[in-house]
Structure 1
Amino acid sequence: MPQDGPCSYSGTVTAHPGTPARPRPWLLHPLVVDALVASVTLLIVLVLSVTINKHPGGGDGFGQRPLPLHTVVTALLGAGALVLRRRHPGPVLCATIVLTLVELIMGTFSHSPGERHTSMMGMVAVALFTLAASTDRPTTLRVGTCTLALITVAGMLLGAQPWYTSENFGIIAWTALAGLAGDAVRHRRAAVNAIRERAERAEATREEEARRRVAEERLRIARELHDVVAHHIALVNVQAGVASHVMDSRPDQAKEALAQVRLASRQALSELQTTVGLLRHRDDPVAPTEPTKGLAVLGDLVDGFSRAGMAVAVERGDGEEERALPAAVDLAAYRVVQEALTNVHKHAGPDAKARVRISRAGRGDSARLEVMVLDDGHGGAAAPPRAPAAGGGHGLTGMRERAAALGGSCETGPVPGGGFRVRVVLPLRSPGGPAVERSEAADRGWVRPCG
């Protein structure tokens, strides 16, 4: 890959996704930049080659030194090599060093000791800068030291005399400056690339987090929809069956069953509107106004099953109705009771008897809420068989997942003498100490059809 050098264009033109990339001006093409650098370096070398530092007459030294043919040839060859410095920094440096040595050797025949010069050193400096900017620091130190030693010794032996003249010692400054500048450019480019990579990685992380939150929110809403549909549709199905069965023999009871169907469907629509309202934007005219379901409205839930013909008894500890619960625990307990009673109504039949017991146990960090739903399993012969506890239906699996999301436990299974029991324990404090608040973790991974 081409590397950047002095006065070169480093970087790529990027565009926002979905927008066409702007074409790069031809003047910023790397080959054009390298040709311009080579041309400027050639001009500087030729100017220095015909200039005397200290004119004997005290006047301007420009044009006072002769320009032999070998100086022009070596300068042109060196400039041609610099055009390729980005693609082949090592070979270009070697080529400029060789041309500089050739120029010094030929200069011993064309110039007197006092008129010899090391102007080709400018091309060596450009090549060394490119090498330092495109490699690592150890390579720069090794190559720079070798170049410094070789060119300095050659300049002192073949260049301007006496050997200790300032022009020969200037080779050391040129070489060291080129190597240090190239290393600084490489270090800065590496720092910029690291910052860009961190920014891109952070952007990718933000996008991934946003996608994760969207997926979790969809799972949460889908779970709420499942709870609503599973409960009310089960009631509607049973009451519609009752109405169809007694339509001819007991019209009054069929009418009452149809009224219960209408009431259950209205409640289902209301809860669906509240849940789907969470998907509305802020500027939508209609927003959900019903509070989140919880044990505070457990009585309405039980009344719905009672009107469907199922006897439900609720036992709560002293003052349990007035004691506030964390939002996540409150919602989870309500949904567990709702799902359990729906399963009783569906599997044990409308004439089954169920008992709901809600109590607290423990104190401090060990405080927990215990929810138990127990039925007698004698709701009529027409009821379908209950799914075994080992396999469980999707509703039972959902209870376990809901409890596990809050760090609790769920026990389900038949009881001796007939019936089925659901026991869920939910901690009232998180492992870290603060009370459990409603979180997305409690709503994660619960998309189930009704069990």
Structure 2
Amino acid sequence: MTASSGTLARPRSRLHPLVVDALVASVTLLVVLIISVTTNKHPGAHTAAAGGFGERPLPAHTVVTALLGAGALVLRRRSPGPVLCATLVLTLAELILGTFSHPPAERHTSMMVMVALALFTVAAATDRATTLRVGTGTLALITVAGMLLGAQPWYASENFGIIAWTALAGLAGDAVRHRRAAVDAIRERAERAEATREEEARRRVAEERLRIARELHDVVAHHIALVNVQAGVASHVMDSRPDQAKEALAQVRLASRQALSELQTTVGLLRHRDDPVAPTEPTKGLAVLGDLVDGFTRAGMAVVVERTGTDEPPLPSAVDLAAYRVVQEALTNVHKHAGPDAKARVRILRTGRGDGARLEVTVLDDGPGGAPVPAGRAGAGGGHGLTGMRERAAALGGRCETGPLEGGGFRVRVVLPLRPPGGPAMERSGADRGWTRPCV
């Protein structure tokens, strides 16, 4: 594995494959020549001469066929089938020529070493069925030729050794091919798993960035809208009613301080999890909905809140935060787009039991009818606020409905399941689990 790519790389041989094959062919040539001039003392021999190296003559045809066979073996990786055929032909030629140059007891099948190496290459490069067919044919051909043209009598140990050489070559090649396939499969799975991990990491990073951006938008849009309105009021009444201007500026200061506090909390989520100065206040939720409504009330907007199910168990933290942010964004849109005299009504309703339990959050306003719907409140498109509501609802398996009302006004309705189908049990809200690190 390289440090730059992070992927598994196939190890490379330091020598070129042709060089390796040339070396293997040279060693095989040497082995064939040594076997060709070495004899064993047969138990039934009528002479007392002991076998050994150099006891058998080395005719020219043996050297030529061995050299040709070694040359063919250099190309065994590129053309395993033709190389096997070439070694078979050369072996048969050597056996036939050996009947003229050697007496029956001194004939040999030394070229079988090259046939075995060629068969090994075929087995390693093809599939098991091909190996079985080719190996069976090679075994039958060489065994019969060896018994008829090789050392005599036909039942000499050298002739039966051909069977062992052929079977061992085929089995070894098949084992190498199987191991190579297993290693390739492991490598492929590792590369696929690594790619999946990288893709999952990128997806998680994108989701986290989206959640943080959504939180920043909700915090900034809400407080900046209040600051903008109160600053406008202070500027308008600065000369005529200084006391009212002073109160408006106090609201600006309060909203600014709250915005900075929430921004600090949100940005603090980017700290390392073990940072001792990371924020540890409870998450925002419907428990502090009164403070949110008071802020809009002080800005001059009439807000009525209707809640049911207050005696129910605490909401899951994710649902609690999402409901609070939906109300915050909806009221901010009312404040910005519906006009100073608009009234807002917030309804929070818990329905169902068990797996069917859900939370419905509805925000209605009575903005002036007949006016074009502002871009930020368009039901089908909209700005980042409505997009954030839909994303929050979808993330929890719920739905978000937004759009203008007949006769004027605007409605935001979000339905959030308390137990998402197929999902794990959600974490309880801050009121139930005490102090915790805020989550986005």
The TM-score by the shorter chain falls in which range?
A: 0.7 to 0.9
Matched, 1:368 2:358: yes
Deviation at 1:375, TM superposition (A): 2.6
- Give the corresponding residue for 2:398: 408
- Give the corresponding residue for 1:231: 222
The DSSP-based 3-state class of the residue aligned with 1:324 is: coil
Identity of aligned residues (%): 86
Deviation at 1:273, TM superposition (A): 0.9
- Give the corresponding residue for 2:3: 16
The DSSP-based 3-state class of the residue aligned with 1:358 is: strand
Deviation at 1:419, TM superposition (A): 3.2
Residue 374 and residue 15 in structure 1: after superposition, are their counterparts in 2 closer, same or farther (change >3 A)? Answer: closer
CA distance in 2, matches of 1:25, 1:359: 70
Residue 25 and residue 376 in structure 1: after superposition, are their counterparts in 2 closer, same or farther (change >3 A)? Answer: closer
CA distance in 2, matches of 1:69, 1:311: 114
Matched, 1:73 2:64: yes
- Give the corresponding residue for 1:9: none
CA distance in 1, matches of 2:390, 2:254: 30
CA distance in 1, matches of 2:404, 2:10: 71
CA distance in 2, matches of 1:18, 1:232: 46
Residue 38 and residue 297 in structure 1: after superposition, are their counterparts in 2 closer, same or farther (change >3 A)? Answer: same
Map residues 52-201 of structure 1 onto 2, 5 A cutoff. Answer: 52-54=39-41, 56-57=47-48, 59-201=50-192
- Give the corresponding residue for 1:5: none
Kept in 1, the 8 Å contact 2:306–2:346? The answer is yes
Kept in 1, the 8 Å contact 2:393–2:414? The answer is yes
Map residues 161-310 of structure 1 onto 2, 5 A cutoff. Answer: 161-282=152-273, 284=275, 286-310=277-301
Deviation at 1:169, TM superposition (A): 2.0
- Give the corresponding residue for 1:3: none
Residue 87 and residue 149 in structure 1: after superposition, are their counterparts in 2 closer, same or farther (change >3 A)? Answer: same
Name the amino acid aligned to 1:40.
V
Q: Which moved more, 1:81-90 or 1:276-285?
A: 276-285
- Give the corresponding residue for 1:396: 386
- Give the corresponding residue for 1:349: 339
CA distance in 2, matches of 1:119, 1:263: 100
- Give the corresponding residue for 1:48: 35
**Given the alignment, which residue of 20, 23, 33 partners 1:33?**
20
Deviation at 1:366, TM superposition (A): 2.1
In the superposition, the TM-score normalised over structure 1's length comes to 0.85
Deviation at 1:115, TM superposition (A): 1.2
Kept in 2, the 8 Å contact 1:329–1:438? The answer is no
CA distance in 2, matches of 1:124, 1:370: 81
Kept in 2, the 8 Å contact 1:133–1:185? The answer is yes
In the superposition, the TM-score normalised over structure 2's length comes to 0.87
Matched, 1:358 2:345: no
Kept in 2, the 8 Å contact 1:39–1:79? The answer is yes
CA distance in 2, matches of 1:153, 1:175: 13
- Give the corresponding residue for 1:442: none
**Given the alignment, which residue of 333, 339, 362 partners 2:323?**
333
Give a deviation string over 1:73-112, Cα, whole Å, max 9, x none.
2112212222222222122212211111111111111111
Kept in 2, the 8 Å contact 1:348–1:386? The answer is no
Matched, 1:428 2:418: yes
Kept in 1, the 8 Å contact 2:309–2:350? The answer is no
CA distance in 1, matches of 2:37, 2:109: 12
Name the amino acid aligned to 2:145.
A
Residue 345 and residue 185 in structure 1: after superposition, are their counterparts in 2 closer, same or farther (change >3 A)? Answer: same
Give a deviation string over 1:128-186, Cα, whole Å, max 9, x none.
11111111222222222222222222222221122222222221221111111111111
**Corresponding residue pairs, total:** 421
Give a deviation string over 1:13-70, Cα, whole Å, max 9, x none.
x633269x999775x4322322222222122211211122216326343221111121
Kept in 2, the 8 Å contact 1:415–1:421? The answer is yes
Deviation at 1:378, TM superposition (A): 6.3
Residue 413 and residue 130 in structure 1: after superposition, are their counterparts in 2 closer, same or farther (change >3 A)? Answer: closer
Kept in 2, the 8 Å contact 1:308–1:350? The answer is no
Measured on the aligned residues, the alpha-carbon RMSD in Å equals: 2.8
CA distance in 2, matches of 1:371, 1:235: 22
Kept in 2, the 8 Å contact 1:81–1:92? The answer is yes
CA distance in 2, matches of 1:309, 1:217: 36
Residue 288 and residue 301 in structure 1: after superposition, are their counterparts in 2 closer, same or farther (change >3 A)? Answer: same
